[in-house]
Structure 1
Amino acid sequence: MNRLANASSPYLRLHAANPVAWYPWGPEAFAEAERRDVPVLVSIGYSTCHWCHVMARESFADDATAAIINDGFVAIKVDREEHPDVDAAYLDAASAFTRNLGWPLTVFTTPRGAVFYAGTYWPDEARGGLPAFRDVLAAVREAWTQRREEVERTGEALRQAIAGAAAPGADAPPSLDELAAAARGVAAAEDREHGGFAAGLGMESPKFPNVPVLRFLACEALAEAAPDAADVARRALRAMADSELHDPVEGGFFRYATRRDWTVPHYERMLTDNAGLIDAALDVGEDDIARDAARFLVDVLQQPSGGIAAAQDSESIIDGARSEGGYYARDAEGRAGLQPPALDGKIVTGWNGHAIAALARAGAVLGDARFLEAARWAADAVLETNLGADGMLRRASLDEIVSSAPATLEDYGGLARGLLALALATGEPAYAVRARELVDACVEEDGTIEAPGGGDPVLVAQGVQTAGVPSDGAAPSGPSALAAAALALWQAGAGDRYRSVAVTLVKAAAPAALAAPIAHGALLQVAAALAEAPHQLVVVGDPGAPLAQRARRIRADIVALVSPEQAEALAAAGLSLFEGKTALDGRTTAYDCRGFACRLPVTDPDQLG
């Protein structure tokens, strides 16, 4: 029985023809394992993962290996991008068995979901110090049948250890002094020779864009207390733009480089990285980098539906052979006759939210209507397909097939922030209203903050939890994304209760974030904004007027260019920042505000900024 052919994940569809009798993630697989009294094999990856493809070709497409799996296990295939909570929970558990975490992630659990062994990639034949995957399967099967009590004790002990790993939060958000110290600590880790941050000193150390921490370093609140921090971010961006990590033909940046000097990339191009790089580049005035990443999102990733695809693969077929990065090694003329690497066309709600926010900002700052229209198109597509009539979000969709995966805090927060940014860029209050509704849906009457539904239902039923505070990876974590959305709503005048939501989320993560700032850049960026009064700039009148053009170049927490009618509508929608904002005597007028207290309005560009 083929259970993956109509999945809402390209990654699962890639495995639909495997001889392995895969189940998608859900309670049915665990119930079947209970019925058969066999362990569960959970294989987690994503469609643009190179080593996931390798393990698929070596093992999951092999009839003999598949027979071993089908005989002794119930096998589940998981797209980590579709089920991030599942991925996070099993990564935490896998860390008890291996330091080399990554994907493919291969996890063995009891029928009740307790993890008792895990690893990543295992080859088809033993090599490089790794056992053959078939030998791993045999050993796990032997342990299950011969040492069942030991296996179950291991699983239960690990589950209890993870459940007890939650660290207490702080009594208050970090002070500006604490944030500046964190920024200086991150800046001190800069690779002074090649820019950015490497995992080690050798040339073979991989290097990632680390967008959230670059944005933290560029915070205006840190300009005096950590004056060198923004330059660290700027140098990293310029180094990436001038390196092999950047695609000069179609724009955008690859996932990471395998060497410290940003050479020998892994060639997949991700929505999360490139959306974040738009914002990071605008933060430090690198307009060409922002424009380049934005055109990749619009020209390559945006789908006919308007939604923006999750990623583009690293592999393509050239001269009949599979090539890793060969397409990207060619110039525009050389690519013209080639089939581009496949897109993962999955429309992930939160990731589209990040892209909507970045494109809306790029459209406004760079004066490029194409980016703004792309943001609007993406927002409308996500709201139409990934939002149910009951107001509940889903994590993703593919070809308008909506995933069964529940939306996470990242989805609610990411989409809310994107919609609010779009409302401020277009003056359309409906987007702001929907943004507020999404944040409100995550805050219960008793103040508890969680995604509606309380998380993945299978993990909840099994009592499986994640350990500690989630970190910010290529994109903000769920708490960071929701905190950023709540912060932006407060800055736009939606009310102090939204600041309280942001403060609650920041306090919960503050000790972990200050202890490891390079892993919590998005959370610390919100904390930095909370440490100072917001800077808000509203221009009412002609968006093409010289005053409006000057305003576009000013960096502030809120920059809105609206007509008098739009200002009135935004105020009526509950954004008090826009109350009383008019075009004086019919002339384009700017209101420069700090902490909701505005200077006298000006109509002369020379009086602004």
Structure 2
Amino acid sequence: MNDNRLGTAVSPYLRLHADNPVDWREWGPDAFAEARERDVPVLVSVGYATCHWCHVMARESFSDPEIGELLRRDFVAVKVDREERPDVDASLMASASAFTQQLGWPLTAFATPEGRVFFAGTYYPPTPVGQVGSFRQVLTAVLDAWTERRHEVDANASAIAAAIAQGAQADATAQGGERSDADTPRLPSVDAIRSVTAQLVSAEDTTYGGFGGAPKFPSAPLLEFLSDVAADGDAAARGLLERSLRAIRTSELTDADGGVFRYATKRDWSVPHYERMLYDNAGLLAIAGAEQARGIADFLRDTLRRPDGAFVAAQDSESTIDGRRVEGDWYRLPLDERGRFDAPPLDDQVLTGWNGLAIRGLARAAARSGDDECTALAQGAADAVLAAHARDGHVVVRSSTDHGTSAAPPTIEDVGLLAEGLLELALLSGEVRYAETARALVDDGLAGRFEADPVLRAAGTTTGEQPQTALRSGTVALAATAATLAALTGDRALRDAATRLVADRARTGTERPLGHADALGVALALQRPSREVVVVSGRDDPMRWTGLAARRPGTVVATVTPDQARAWAAAGFSLFAGRDSAAPAAYVCHDHVCALPARSDAALAEQLR
């Protein structure tokens, strides 16, 4: 019997399990209602389409008919794609942390029919390995607890849910959810923020580069913070950033085609975990040097880009070579030999937030190097995502594939990262329509117009957005975009909103930068005097590139033609009012008070000094 429900799922990860002899359901109230009716626990298995150990557990356990029969009889089995449902994944991860610190995917959680987790782990093998029981043994133990010690199960589930609710309340307060506009929290000082560099220098692996031992991750948000501090004049941060980027660029973590793998399993950056995620590559693209950025942009263009211009989520670690499904072998082939075999498959879902991150990375790379193709790639992705995932300036879709549009609601990640990417592209290209959409998205984000998942809401286990180590936070991106809009409009309320969003995260980051590095970077910009640079010129004018090179914390740079300047002013961006000189001119302003226009790149460079 196979009553698996995943054949029509939008998520590619869920569809990979459509042929399992497990009667999988998608996450939702119906699955938990069935569990209540049958009085059985819920198994929730979380993963994603390019996850190697998810594939392994699927082959070893979820393809086993006897396991399938056990799950059908004694559980309700639910599959979750962590990329499609980051809210569910965050809640289950928070619950799982009560049982293991080795968090990751696949995540295996057991919940009551009320949606509260009472036991969790990650990958379980088909036979016992050391102290780790087999998946079948885990299922048996869970059933024994469910039938013989239900009071313990309920007590554990309630205690974990209470802890999550308390943490979510604290996080909501930290983000300004219970503050008035007049009660703006305090940012950490510039000295406190810059002192984090010393922490990171002491944590550097001086032998192989990067931070820590094995496994070793590229940690793009942490490197971007170093980039911010380096732009603020910190030589130690610049040296650490350059050494870290060089280690990534010259190691096995970077493939021959320029794409970067998710992490290395060895301290010396060797033996990569071969999956390649859009977010890692987009994050590095925002800060990498010209050669490294060009390689990453080529990978996005040649591998992850769809015909409509949007980018898909990832490329798998596994491929089929000589009839065998193997991890990494395709990537170990020379480039000219790879064409003889099928490339590793793609996780083909288009995620709004991740595309926003890619748009931002491409726009920043173009601003540094003058690479017109990066600008075109960013515009292509922006136009595709806005056409398919937004309506009237609002994000209405988080995830889509060729199989349709996911019912998963948009999150703060989608709104914040897309808004930030669009505004970066608007400042680079001069196209005000992207800025107008970014402004509407910020309004949505600050209004908190997000649906809470009904199961998590009923269980009291909605966590809100958690600190990020590999992916820029949507909350932080929203704050950065609000601060930039404040510089463009003169609206002080937007700058205050940005402060409320990041202040507490940044103060935590001064002691624990991993997970909060992005908030530290925005806090540094908010602590610096506001400086606005408007360059009105043609595309190839040297002043344009002099202005773009002026990036530092607290500085906003816009490059426009005279017609574009008038369009920005008409759209309510007051910084551009009267900045429509027919002859090339650049305006360097502090809180909208501008010096006399510079008429040459040399004069602009002098004003910027």
Same fold by TM-score, threshold 0.5 exceeded?
yes
2:568 counterpart of 1:565: no
SS of 1:164's partner is helix
Q: Aligned ranges for residues 256-295 of structure 1 at < 5 Å?
A: 256-281=263-288, 286-295=289-298
- Structure 1 partner of 2:224: 215
Residue of structure 1 aligned with 2:419, choices 416, 427, 434 = 416
Deviates more, 1:546-555 or 1:478-487: 546-555
Residue of structure 1 aligned with 2:215, choices 182, 187, 206 = 206
Q: Distance in 2 between matches of 1:311 and 1:492?
A: 35
Residue of structure 1 aligned with 2:262, choices 243, 255, 261 = 255
Q: Distance in 2 between matches of 1:431 and 1:211?
A: 25
- Structure 1 partner of 2:250: 242
TM-score, normalized by length of structure 2?
0.93
2:316 counterpart of 1:316: no
- Structure 2 partner of 1:177: 191
- Structure 2 partner of 1:447: none
Quick one: structure 1 residues 50 and 576, their matched pair in 2 at CA, closer, same or farther if it must change by over 3 Å?
same
Q: Distance in 2 between matches of 1:253 and 1:268?
A: 9
Q: Distance in 1 between matches of 2:397 and 2:314?
A: 19
Q: Distance in 1 between matches of 2:472 and 2:20?
A: 34
Q: Distance in 2 between matches of 1:533 and 1:373?
A: 32
Q: Distance in 2 between matches of 1:221 and 1:229?
A: 5
Give the partner amino acid of 1:99. Q
Q: Distance in 1 between matches of 2:397 and 2:457?
A: 17
2:410 counterpart of 1:407: yes
Q: Distance in 1 between matches of 2:296 and 2:591?
A: 32
2:211 counterpart of 1:197: yes
- Structure 1 partner of 2:178: none
Residue of structure 2 aligned with 1:186, choices 200, 205, 210 = 200
Contact 2:35–2:113 (CA under 8 A) maintained in structure 1? yes
Q: Distance in 1 between matches of 2:592 and 2:203?
A: 37
- Structure 1 partner of 2:478: 482
Contact 1:543–1:549 (CA under 8 A) maintained in structure 2? no
Contact 1:40–1:108 (CA under 8 A) maintained in structure 2? yes
What are the superposed Cα offsets for residues 168-214 of structure 1, whole Å, 9 maximum, x if unpaired? 6493011101101223212221111111111x4xxxx2110011011
Stretches of structure 2 lacking an aligned partner (at least 5 in a row) = 175-183
Q: Aligned ranges for residues 24-63 of structure 1 at < 5 Å?
A: 24-63=26-65
2:349 counterpart of 1:341: no
Q: Distance in 2 between matches of 1:247 and 1:390?
A: 37
Residue of structure 1 aligned with 2:499, choices 500, 503, 523 = 503
Give the partner amino acid of 1:482. L
Q: Aligned ranges for residues 351-500 of structure 1 at < 5 Å?
A: 351-388=354-391, 391-399=394-402, 401-444=404-447, 450=448, 452-466=449-463, 470-493=466-489, 495-500=491-496
Residue of structure 2 aligned with 1:541, choices 537, 540, 543 = 537
Q: Aligned-pair distance for 1:244?
A: 0.4
What are the superposed Cα offsets for residues 125-153 of structure 1, whole Å, 9 maximum, x if unpaired? 11132111001001101111111111111
Residue of structure 1 aligned with 2:509, choices 499, 509, 513 = 513
Contact 2:185–2:499 (CA under 8 A) maintained in structure 1? no
Give the partner amino acid of 2:453. D
Q: Distance in 2 between matches of 1:81 and 1:406?
A: 12
- Structure 2 partner of 1:301: 304
Quick one: structure 1 residues 521 and 369, their matched pair in 2 at CA, closer, same or farther if it must change by over 3 Å?
same
Q: Distance in 2 between matches of 1:494 and 1:417?
A: 18
Contact 1:9–1:346 (CA under 8 A) maintained in structure 2? yes
Task: Tell me the matched-pair count.
Answer: 589
SS of 1:108's partner is strand
Q: Distance in 2 between matches of 1:6 and 1:223?
A: 51
Q: Distance in 1 between matches of 2:507 and 2:580?
A: 44
Q: Distance in 2 between matches of 1:296 and 1:373?
A: 15
Q: Aligned-pair distance for 1:164?
A: 2.1
Quick one: structure 1 residues 196 and 324, their matched pair in 2 at CA, closer, same or farther if it must change by over 3 Å?
same
SS of 1:308's partner is coil
Contact 1:41–1:108 (CA under 8 A) maintained in structure 2? yes
Contact 1:473–1:519 (CA under 8 A) maintained in structure 2? yes
Give the partner amino acid of 1:81. E
Q: Distance in 2 between matches of 1:214 and 1:207?
A: 14
Q: Aligned-pair distance for 1:387?
A: 2.0
SS of 2:470's partner is coil
Quick one: structure 1 residues 280 and 457, their matched pair in 2 at CA, closer, same or farther if it must change by over 3 Å?
farther
Q: Distance in 2 between matches of 1:456 and 1:394?
A: 15
Residue of structure 2 aligned with 1:602, choices 586, 598, 601 = 598
- Structure 1 partner of 2:180: none
Q: Aligned-pair distance for 1:227?
A: 3.2
Q: Aligned-pair distance for 1:279?
A: 0.8
SS of 1:536's partner is strand
Contact 1:22–1:77 (CA under 8 A) maintained in structure 2? yes
2:117 counterpart of 1:119: no
Contact 2:535–2:544 (CA under 8 A) maintained in structure 1? yes
Q: Distance in 1 between matches of 2:490 and 2:255?
A: 40
SS of 2:408's partner is coil
Q: Distance in 1 between matches of 2:485 and 2:239?
A: 29
- Structure 2 partner of 1:94: 96
Quick one: structure 1 residues 569 and 388, their matched pair in 2 at CA, closer, same or farther if it must change by over 3 Å?
closer
Contact 1:471–1:519 (CA under 8 A) maintained in structure 2? yes
SS of 2:50's partner is coil
Contact 2:5–2:25 (CA under 8 A) maintained in structure 1? yes
- Structure 2 partner of 1:331: 334
Q: Aligned-pair distance for 1:558?
A: 2.4
Q: Distance in 1 between matches of 2:200 and 2:313?
A: 29
TM-score, normalized by length of structure 1?
0.93
Stretches of structure 1 lacking an aligned partner (at least 5 in a row) = 445-449
SS of 1:162's partner is helix
SS of 2:479's partner is helix
Quick one: structure 1 residues 383 and 223, their matched pair in 2 at CA, closer, same or farther if it must change by over 3 Å?
closer
Give the partner amino acid of 1:118. A
Contact 1:254–1:266 (CA under 8 A) maintained in structure 2? yes
Q: Distance in 1 between matches of 2:308 and 2:28?
A: 28
Q: Distance in 2 between matches of 1:348 and 1:458?
A: 23
Computed over aligned residues only, the root mean square deviation of the Cα atoms, in angstroms, reads 1.8
Q: Aligned-pair distance for 1:505?
A: 0.7
What are the superposed Cα offsets for residues 375-414 of structure 1, whole Å, 9 maximum, x if unpaired? 1111111112112469342221111611111111111000
Q: Aligned-pair distance for 1:323?
A: 2.0
